């Protein structure tokens, strides 16, 4: 629906590596001499049926191994911006997973240079502003998280925020308290995935110990009425991702998502695509899916407005975006 595509919005929960389409992954594998165990595009496309978060992460991390050069990262970012330039996205705050790239033998500064170049071109070409969120991969060794922070702190202003992603259960937020404290001292914003597959107590943990300013997913907050009151009163936005939750079987169907319930209790909700190349759609497809289960245009417009409110842009720019 054109109206949904025209709503001005910010995308706040987007893993740039999750925009790697299977066609591009195979092209990069060939160009970069990376062996993948798939003989054809059809065979690879057969692997996109996920049963939970881990089953997705296995493919996501495997295909990330095809990204090798600054140009690959620039092209990846540009392909994303080209897609969402027709979907109302005015601003994007983009996760990347540097620990994985370093484990693949890449230099984190090269990865950032490629992404930042793509982001710069997107501003000129489409007028879309953006920032980078360095996301800690919570199930990799803690030293690797500390080491990527150490590698980029001399260019702290190239980074907008710190995040926390990957396999959630068994990796509670407080394990990363020191890294988030250091991030705060570097002037970075703080967000964390919590309450996606993990319980509401992980959301509380992220608020209490990481001082998270937004919670990514956060949908299991709905099981704790006190937490919902806190999210509303402290104005902590949830960056939700409907198609992701369905594809990873966090919910059986979209109408099990507690979005309206939480919104009615005053929680600030916005809508995002997470890993659009894997979950069957970019941001406008997520809006469309909600519209198909009965969300009205005015409810969807309020999610879009809340996305701009929940972004880390300055108030001057915020006024120009709405
Ligand atoms: C992710 Cl859907 C999701 N959840 C947690 N971590 C992630 N990294 C990339 N996509
Ligand atoms: Zn995510």
Burial state string for 19-42 with b = 16 or more CB within 10 A and e = fewer than 16: bbbbebbbebbeeeebebebeeee
Q: Please check whether residue 303 lies inside any domain of the structure.
A: yes
Which structural domain range is residue 96 located in? 16-313
Ligand 1 in reach of 197 Cβ (< 6 A): no
- Tell me which residues have their CB within 5 A of the ion that is ligand 2: 274
Distance 149 CA to ligand 2 centre (A): 20
- Run means of pLDDT, 10 residues per run, the chain, 322 residues: 92 99 98 97 98 98 98 98 98 99 98 98 98 98 98 98 98 99 98 98 99 98 98 98 98 98 98 98 98 97 97 91 81
* 15 marked as binding residue: yes
* 91 marked as binding residue: no
Pairing of strands 9-15, 161-165: unpaired
Phi and psi at 64, nearest 5°, equal -60, -25
* 120 marked as binding residue: no
The pLDDT assigned to 1 comes to 63
Q: Please check whether residue 8 lies inside any domain of the structure.
A: no
Q: Please check whether residue 275 lies inside any domain of the structure.
A: yes
* 101 marked as binding residue: no
- Report whether 237 contacts 207 (CB < 8 A): no
The pLDDT assigned to 39 comes to 92
Distance 217 CA to ligand 2 centre (A): 7
Which numbered atom of ligand 1 lies nearest the CA of 193? 5
Ligand of minimum distance to the alpha carbon of 94: 2
Q: Please check whether residue 150 lies inside any domain of the structure.
A: yes
Distance 42 CA to ligand 2 centre (A): 26
Q: Please check whether residue 269 lies inside any domain of the structure.
A: yes
How many angstroms separate the CA atoms of 72 and 200, rounded?
37
The pLDDT assigned to 322 comes to 76
Distance 165 CA to ligand 1 centre (A): 6
User: Does the ipTM exceed 0.95?
Assistant: yes
Q: Please check whether residue 205 lies inside any domain of the structure.
A: yes
Q: To test ligand 1's pocket by mutation, which of 53, 138, 215, 248 has the most ligand atoms within 8 angstroms of CB?
A: 53
Q: Please check whether residue 322 lies inside any domain of the structure.
A: no
Q: Residue 24 maps to which CATH number?
A: 3.20.20.140
Q: Please check whether residue 87 lies inside any domain of the structure.
A: yes
Q: Give me the number of domains the chain comprises.
A: 1
Q: Residues of the chain with pLDDT > 90: what percent?
A: 97
The pLDDT assigned to 2 comes to 87
How many angstroms separate the CA atoms of 194 and 192, rounded?
6
């Amino acid at each position: 629906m054109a109206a949904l595509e025209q709503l001005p919005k910010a995308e706040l929960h987007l893993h740039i590596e999750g925009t790697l389409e299977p066609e591009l992954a195979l092209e990069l594998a060939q160009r970069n001499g990376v062996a993948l165990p798939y003989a054809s595009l059809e065979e690879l496309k057969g692997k996109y049926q996920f049963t939970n978060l881990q089953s997705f992460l296995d493919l996501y991390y495997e295909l990330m191994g095809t990204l090798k050069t600054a140009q690959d990262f620039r092209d990846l970012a540009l392909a994303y911006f080209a897609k969402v330039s027709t979907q109302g996205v005015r601003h994007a705050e983009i996760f990347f997973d540097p620990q994985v790239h370093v484990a693949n033998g890449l230099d984190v500064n090269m990865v950032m240079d490629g992404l930042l170049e793509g982001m710069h071109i997107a501003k000129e070409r489409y007028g879309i502003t953006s920032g980078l969120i360095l996301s800690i991969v919570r199930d990799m060794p803690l030293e690797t998280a500390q080491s990527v922070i150490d590698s980029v702190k001399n260019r702290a202003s190239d980074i907008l925020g710190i995040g926390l992603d990957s396999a959630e259960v068994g990796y509670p937020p407080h394990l990363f308290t020191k890294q988030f404290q250091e991030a705060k001292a570097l002037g970075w914003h703080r967000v964390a995935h919590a309450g996606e597959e993990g319980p509401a107590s992980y959301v509380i943990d992220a608020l209490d110990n990481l001082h998270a300013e937004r919670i990514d997913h956060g949908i299991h907050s709905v099981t704790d009425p006190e937490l919902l009151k806190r999210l509303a009163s402290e104005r902590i936005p949830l960056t939700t991702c409907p198609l992701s939750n369905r594809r990873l079987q966090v919910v059986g169907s979209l109408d099990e998502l507690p979005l309206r319930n939480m919104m009615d209790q005053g929680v600030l909700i916005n809508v995002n695509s997470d890993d659009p190349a894997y979950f069957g759609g970019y941001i406008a497809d997520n809006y469309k899916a909600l519209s198909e289960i009965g969300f009205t245009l005015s409810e969807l417009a309020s999610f879009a407005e809340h996305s701009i409110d929940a972004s880390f842009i300055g108030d001057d720019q915020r006024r120009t975006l709405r």
